[in-house]
Amino acid sequence: MNLIYYYPMENGAPAEVGRNILKRLLDHSEILPFAEIKLFCKEKNVHEIRNSFDLDVITYKNLNKITKHDLVHIPVLPTILPNAKFLLYLYIKVIKRGKLILQYHGDVRKELKSSYKDIISLIHILTYIFVPQILRSSDRVITHSYYMNEIITKYGAKKLVVIPNAIDEYWYQKEAETEAKSSRVIDHNNFNIFYHGRLSWEKGVDVLIEAFGHYAINNPNTTIYLAGEGPQKKQLKDLCSNLDIDKRVIFLGNINKEEIVFFLKNVDVAIYPSRFDNFPLAVLEALACANCPVYFSKNIGIYDFVIQDGFKLNSFELDVENLIKVLDSASCSTNKNVVNQQIQFAINYTWDRVILKYIELYHDVIN
């Protein structure tokens, strides 16, 4: 039996997770229950992937190399569009009737409901309709939190397994602090707030900005740094203008991990105000390396793991009033013990630990 692994080349956290899984699987190849790992990819990516991996590569042109005895793992949702991952899904489930593992990083239905005014989102209407069937047809669906697991249980999916997300050891190491650098200057006389992640409705950054607008009225020496890009960026900038806080909200755009560490080591608080989220890497990165308190909404899947692991970290119910209280509390906090607790929690979610759960899952599905 072989593992046929769809190798995602897209940008974004789901694809990054998918690439990291493969990397760690190759590090543990001696305990995998497969004769070979073969990669499936888009035809245009074959040359690049062959330069990176000494593995057999399959595309739509040689799908017949996949047998019904192979296990196919697609680490991202195969949206119903003419694309490589959906073709692979159809081939293994309809033609070969083989075994399939899917990963569900975020709830497509909630995301589409939040952006229904965007005409472009209408191309995903078939995915919206048929995602329950896609999930039910899989031999296993991996989700990254009990929060998301509960959502897709309501879609009728039953063969579910929760495997948390993980981050590289880089975020925990001392060299991350020594490599932390940026061309930007932070005024340490100010109260400095940081967020990094996608600028989209589900991340709740607009709620943070609105709370900041109220807070800044009586606290003028306050600055908020927002790192990332996304479809809500223009709306967020317009909101800053309406609240007259343009000069106090700094949009950093996409920044590299060294710059992210720089901000997390030098600001006074990091805040992640998601309306809903599965297991965001950004929050885990902040918990692993920040020199400041990290606050996050109870609407993210990490919150379940914090409770399960017996930690008392800084979480909040998402609304403007609660976020104003968070800013007030963080601005006068001198408790450094919370930083140690954050690191102790985050260290449970390295790839060296989490990849073993994937290997256990493979054995389970095969048996």
Domains belonging to the chain, first-starting first, are 2-166+351-366 (3.40.50.2000), 169-349 (3.40.50.2000)
pLDDT band at 179 (very low <50, low <70, confident <90, very high): low
pLDDT band at 335 (very low <50, low <70, confident <90, very high): low
Alpha helices in the chain (DSSP H): 13-27, 46-52, 84-90, 108-114, 125-136, 146-153, 174-179, 205-218, 233-242, 257-266, 281-289, 302-308, 320-331, 337-346, 351-366
| Weakest mean pLDDT among 10-14, 22-26, 308-312, 362-366 | 10-14
pLDDT average, residue stretch 121-129: 78
pLDDT band at 120 (very low <50, low <70, confident <90, very high): low
119 has a pLDDT exceeding 90? no
Q: Looking at per-residue confidence, does 248 or 124 come out higher?
A: 248
Q: Which residues, listed in sequence order, are joined to residue 36 by a DSSP beta bridge?
A: 2
116 has a pLDDT exceeding 70? no
310 has a pLDDT exceeding 80? yes
What pLDDT, on the 0 to 100 scale, is given for residue 293? Answer: 95
Q: Which residues, listed in sequence order, are joined to residue 270 by a DSSP beta bridge?
A: 194, 294
Q: Looking at per-residue confidence, does 103 or 184 come out higher?
A: 103
What pLDDT, on the 0 to 100 scale, is given for residue 108? Answer: 80
**Average pLDDT for the chain:** 91
9 has a pLDDT exceeding 60? yes
Residue 325: Cβ within 10 Å count: 14
What is the dihedral sign for C-alpha 312, 275, 77, 282? negative
The whole-angstrom distance between residue 325's C-alpha and the CA centroid of its chain comes to 27
Percent pLDDT > 70 in the chain is: 94
115 has a pLDDT exceeding 70? no
What pLDDT, on the 0 to 100 scale, is given for residue 339? Answer: 92
Kindly give the interhelix angle for 320-331 and 205-218, rounded to the nearest 10 degrees: 60
Cα-based distances in Å from 63 to 131, 138, 254, 281, 324 = 24, 19, 37, 33, 55
CA distance 139 to 294: 37
144 has a pLDDT exceeding 90? yes
Percent pLDDT > 90 in the chain is: 77
What pLDDT, on the 0 to 100 scale, is given for residue 18? Answer: 95
What pLDDT, on the 0 to 100 scale, is given for residue 125? Answer: 82
